[in-house]
């Protein structure tokens, strides 16, 4: 089996048996077959303009806080888009093929400018000094499950209160879907609580697509429930691996999935599992900042 290998087999004296990031946990909850395609089969997916725009906007918002506070204006942020796009092309030159000409690229960059303007409508970065940006966090639960991911921003108040901030370039979810949106933030809060011993006082999702902020104040009961949910989720993933049964779940996000042609819910046939896939431990590839920017606009 071409399973993903964890870089470290032991963390803080605990043997690592598997790993989850918020994105991969979300994949399994949305559709176990999608998890399989991404984690076990590692089938390449075509980058979308919306996802790449999210990556670009995140990069600008991260770098904006390297600028002196008084210069953190919307004009400065817009001016940073071009250089950030050039930097992205250096690392991923194939992204240039997303656009058929200069006009299409200009229109796409203009939409990114609009998202940056939305950010400035939500808060004034001249009044902020984040404690951390694009912070990699990890912890190992008893039993060996490694939780890891990248947090967009961590703010620490003078009295020690911690705020966890995540930027979303899509639109805020309807109320019925808020719990799913907050799961990612509770995941980060759990890891920070376990590693720093401080319970984050506020989780903040900033939706630039429609200029809304979703705020939530977690408590210990929330985070303990999140830990139980993650343990149960990993048990379900392990059972799927042992049996080789990865169920497809049809839903509203299918329209954005790259794998419809091989999905049985859409008349397709999944490829055979890689040799030796049944019964072996599974661990997703290393988390990256780009994982948190795959919003659906």
Q: Is the pLDDT of residue 4 over 70?
A: no
Q: Is the pLDDT of residue 296 over 70?
A: no
Query: Span 21-42, mean pLDDT?
Result: 94
Of the pLDDT bands very low, low, confident and very high (cuts 50, 70, 90), residue 274 is confident
Query: Which has more pLDDT, 180 or 276?
Result: 180
Name the average pLDDT for the chain: 90
Instruction: Quick: pLDDT tens for 148-202.
Output: 999 999 999 999 999 999 999 999 988 877 888 899 999 999 999 999 999 999 9
Of the pLDDT bands very low, low, confident and very high (cuts 50, 70, 90), residue 272 is very high
Query: Span 10-36, mean pLDDT?
Result: 88
Q: Is the pLDDT of residue 53 over 90?
A: yes
What is the per-residue pLDDT for 6? 45
What is the per-residue pLDDT for 180? 85
Q: Is the pLDDT of residue 20 over 70?
A: yes
- Of the chain, the percentage scoring pLDDT greater than 90 comes to 80
Domains assigned to the chain: 11-42+130-270+281-293 (3.90.320), 49-127 (no CATH)
Query: Span 77-97, mean pLDDT?
Result: 97
Q: Is the pLDDT of residue 5 over 70?
A: no
Of 91-105, 137-151, 267-281, minimum mean pLDDT range:
267-281
Q: Is the pLDDT of residue 120 over 70?
A: yes
What is the per-residue pLDDT for 286? 52
**pTM higher than 0.85, yes or no?**
yes
Query: DSSP of the chain, one letter per residue?
Result: --PPPPS-SEETTEE--EEE-HHHHHHHHH-HHHHIIIIIS----PPPHHHHHHHHHHHHHHHHTTS-GGG--HHHHHHHHHHHHHHHHHH-GGGGGG-SSHHHHHHHHHHHHHHHHHHHHH--GGG---SEEEEEEEEE-TTSEEEEEEEEEEEE-TT--EEEEEEESSPPPPGGGHHHHHHHHHHHHHHHHHHHS---SEEEEEETTTTEEEEE---HHHHHHHHHHHHHHHHHHHHHHHHT-------GGGGG-TTGGG-GGGT--PPPPPTT-TTS---PPPP-GGGGG----
Query: Span 103-116, mean pLDDT?
Result: 98
Q: Is the pLDDT of residue 129 over 90?
A: yes
What is the per-residue pLDDT for 174? 86
Of the pLDDT bands very low, low, confident and very high (cuts 50, 70, 90), residue 47 is very high
Q: Is the pLDDT of residue 221 over 50?
A: yes
Of the pLDDT bands very low, low, confident and very high (cuts 50, 70, 90), residue 12 is low
């Amino acid at each position: 089996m071409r399973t993903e290998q964890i870089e470290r087999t032991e963390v803080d004296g605990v043997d690592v048996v598997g790993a989850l990031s918020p994105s991969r946990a979300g994949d399994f909850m949305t559709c176990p077959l999608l998890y399989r395609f991404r984690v076990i089969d590692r089938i390449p997916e075509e980058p979308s303009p919306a996802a790449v725009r999210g990556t670009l906007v995140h990069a600008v918002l991260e770098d904006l806080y390297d600028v002196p506070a008084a210069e953190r204006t919307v004009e400065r942020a817009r001016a940073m888009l071009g250089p950030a796009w050039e930097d992205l092309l250096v690392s991923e030159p194939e992204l240039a093929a997303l656009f058929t000409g200069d006009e299409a690229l200009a229109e796409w960059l203009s939409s990114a400018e609009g998202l940056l303007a939305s950010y400035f409508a939500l808060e004034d970065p001249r009044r902020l000094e984040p404690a951390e940006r694009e912070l990699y966090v990890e912890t190992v639960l008893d039993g060996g499950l490694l939780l890891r991911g990248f947090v967009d921003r961590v703010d620490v108040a003078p009295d020690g209160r911690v705020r966890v901030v995540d930027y979303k370039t899509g639109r805020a979810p309807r109320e019925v879907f808020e719990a799913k949106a907050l799961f990612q933030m509770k995941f980060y809060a759990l890891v920070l609580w376990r590693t720093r011993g401080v319970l984050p006082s506020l989780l903040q999702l900033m939706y630039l697509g429609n200029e809304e902020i979703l705020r939530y104040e977690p408590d210990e009961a929330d985070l303990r429930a999140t830990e139980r949910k993650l343990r149960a989720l990993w048990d379900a993933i392990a059972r799927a691996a042992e049996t080789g049964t990865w169920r497809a779940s049809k839903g509203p996000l299918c329209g954005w999935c790259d794998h419809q042609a091989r999905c049985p819910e859409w008349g397709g046939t999944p490829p055979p599992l890689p040799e030796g896939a049944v019964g072996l431990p599974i661990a997703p590839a290393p988390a990256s900042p780009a994982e948190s920017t795959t919003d659906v606009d």
